[in-house]
Amino acid sequence: MNLTIENILLVGSLLLLISIFAGKTTYKFGVPTLVLFLGIGMLAGEDGIGGISFDDPQIAQLIGIISLNFILFSGGLDTDWKAVKPIMKEGLALSTLGVLLTAITLGIFVYYITDFTIYESLLLGSIVSSTDAAAVFSILRSKNLALKTNLRPTLEMESGSNDPMAYVLTIAFLGLVVNQDQGLASMIPLFLKQMIIGGIAGFGFGKLSKIVINRIKLDFEGLYPVLVIALMFITFSATDFVGGNGFLAIYICAVYLGNQYLIHKKTILKMYDGLAWLMQIVLFLTLGLLVFPTQMIPVIGIGLVISLFLMFVARPVSVFISLIFFKMKLRRRFYISWVGLRGAVPIVFATYPLLAGIEKANMIFNIVFFISLTSILIQGTTLSIVAKWLHVGLPEKVKPKSPTDEFLSEHPKTEMREIGIANSNAIVGKKIVQLQFPKNAIIAMIKRDEKYITPNGATIIEADDVLIVLSDSKKGIQRVYDTLNIGQFEIQ
């Protein structure tokens, strides 16, 4: 069946519906939903029972880039800077040196066991050198896996920030495959340009986006998430246009925004969480449609050898060398090595050789697809088990809750105060988003002129307002009084 304008919405919506319901069922049996999405795409493809003809790497790449924008941005918004800051150096080491070492180690291995040239081998190593943000975010968060001593933020930061390095290596080695007369030294300027411009642009667009979101006055709350989507794509495309790394820019921009006070922040976060899931499903379905299972059969043997080498040699070697200068228990290093999930990102990067038309592009694509599939199946299904074996997981009863979780679960010890705002108070005339309100407290309602209103970040505090404030503790209430410039509150 050929996809047409008339049937694409019907086919797409049916595949989406099947993926959602099947994902809910199979998750109970420990099967990662991402594998299911890939499987449904393969079954619906030309070699499967659906018979859908889809063989356009360019469209697949476009869908992949758009999806990765949402996935990385959503992951960045959910990243807690306070949790990431203590492990910043470890995360950067893994996302740069770790990726480079993985690409080189695997590339040399591929060179010796296949008929690939050294540059083709390093290209394959580069494509699968980064852990996949979609896979890591999805599996860690859907399993609600609690890990000891900053392991989880380390893994999430690595997966969210290492795609730019893999992208640069992929583009660089692809250029060397196409233009054999160039040397390895030509990669250095490209790497520096991509990373420096990407980092600066990400931070700059983050600050600019905060100003735009908080100062613009939109008539409808639902338009604020749309505004953020526009800012996200502007960040990516503008950075890419000037030669920077767009993936790095949107991740840094999102991390910055996620740790700032924004108008309608909860609405934005909820929408992005849903969109990230949608994009993961669309991305994996698309890539499943793109692959031809019959073409994968000849590469199963070599693909399995390369995949196992990546899991048990290349990834651990890169992790241990990258973290050699950091104090970290051996079992933590082993667990980080095991959470080297490969997913959609390598498959998206594998479309670049296809579009470049290099000789072994199809074989590279099929091997990369097989590596991603086996990685999610083997590593993705055993994260909880390995965490228990290595004693790096927290028992269910001591899993930490965030202050927001406390409020949403209507914790019985939540503190509530009614706080009156005098005419002389300096916060009169300010928006709530400008108050730098404590994160463990919320303004649930405002009593104004004998009426109760539900506030949001854009609500302006007026004289004689009575704020009904909730916090998780008396100390939290004390911080609220300090923020509102009101006299000391006696903690009892």
391 lies in the same domain as 426: no
Same domain, 44 and 181: yes
Q: Please tell me the total number of residues recorded for the chain in this structure.
A: 492
CA distance 242 to 139: 34
Residue 491, in any domain of the structure: no
State the Cα–Cα distance between residues 464 and 481, nearest whole angstrom. Answer: 16
Amino acid at 479: R
In this structure, are 425 and 344 located in the same domain?
Answer: no
Q: Is the residue at 488 inside a domain?
A: no
- For helices 151-161 and 330-338, the axis angle rounded to 10 degrees is 40
Model pLDDT, residue 143: 58
Residues 467, 375 share a domain: no
CA 427, 431, 434, 437: dihedral to nearest 10 degrees? 80
How many other CB atoms sit within 10 Å of the CB of residue 172?
21
Same domain membership, residue 230 and residue 316: yes
Instruction: Beginning with the edge strand found earlier in the chain, give each strand of the sheet holding 451-453 in spatial order.
Output: 415-420, 466-471, 441-448, 451-453
Would you state the pLDDT for residue 3?
59
CATH code at position 415? 3.30.70.1450
Report the half-sphere exposure of 273 (CA within 13 A, side-chain side): 11
Of 375, 398, 421, which marks where a domain is finished? 398
Regarding whether 386 and 244 lie in a shared domain, the answer is: yes
- How far apart are the C-alpha atoms of 249 and 231, rounded to whole Å? 12
Distant-in-sequence, close-in-space partners of 127: CB < 8 Å, separation ≥ 6 = 166, 170, 346, 349, 350, 353, 364, 368
User: Would 202 be classed as within a structural domain?
Assistant: yes
Residue 2 lies in a domain: no
| Structure tokens belonging to residue 123 | 């290209």
Q: Which residues of the chain fall below pLDDT 70?
A: 1-8, 22-34, 134, 137-146, 149, 183, 394-414, 487-492
248 close to 164: Cβ distance less than 8 angstroms? yes
Residues 111 and 185 both lie in one domain: yes
Among residues 380, 398, 416, which one ends one of the domains?
398
CATH, residue 351 = 1.20.1530.20
Split into its structural domains, the chain has a count of 2
Same domain, 449 and 394: no
Q: Are residues 271 and 352 in the same domain?
A: yes
pTM of the model as a whole: 0.79
Q: Hey, which bits of 366-477 come out as E strands?
A: 415-420, 441-448, 451-453, 466-471
Residue 403, pLDDT score: 43
Within a domain: 443: yes
- The Cα 23–Cα 33 span in angstroms is 5
**316 shares its domain with 465:** no
Q: Is residue 490 part of a domain?
A: no
Verify that 343 and 409 share a domain, yes or no.
no
pLDDT at position 410, please?
A: 44
CA distance 229 to 487: 41
Q: Does residue 263 belong to any structural domain of this protein?
A: yes
Sign for the CA dihedral angle at 385, 387, 388, 394 comes to negative
Last residue of a domain, one of 366, 398, 430: 398
Q: Tell me which residue range forms the domain holding 412.
A: 403-483
Nearest C-alpha neighbor of 159 from the set 72, 78, 239: 72
**Planar angle of CA 78, 249, 85, nearest 5 degrees:** 50
Structure letter (DSSP) for residue 419: E
Residues 91 and 225 in one domain: yes
Q: How far apart are CA 463 and CA 440, in angstroms?
A: 24
**1 is a domain residue:** no
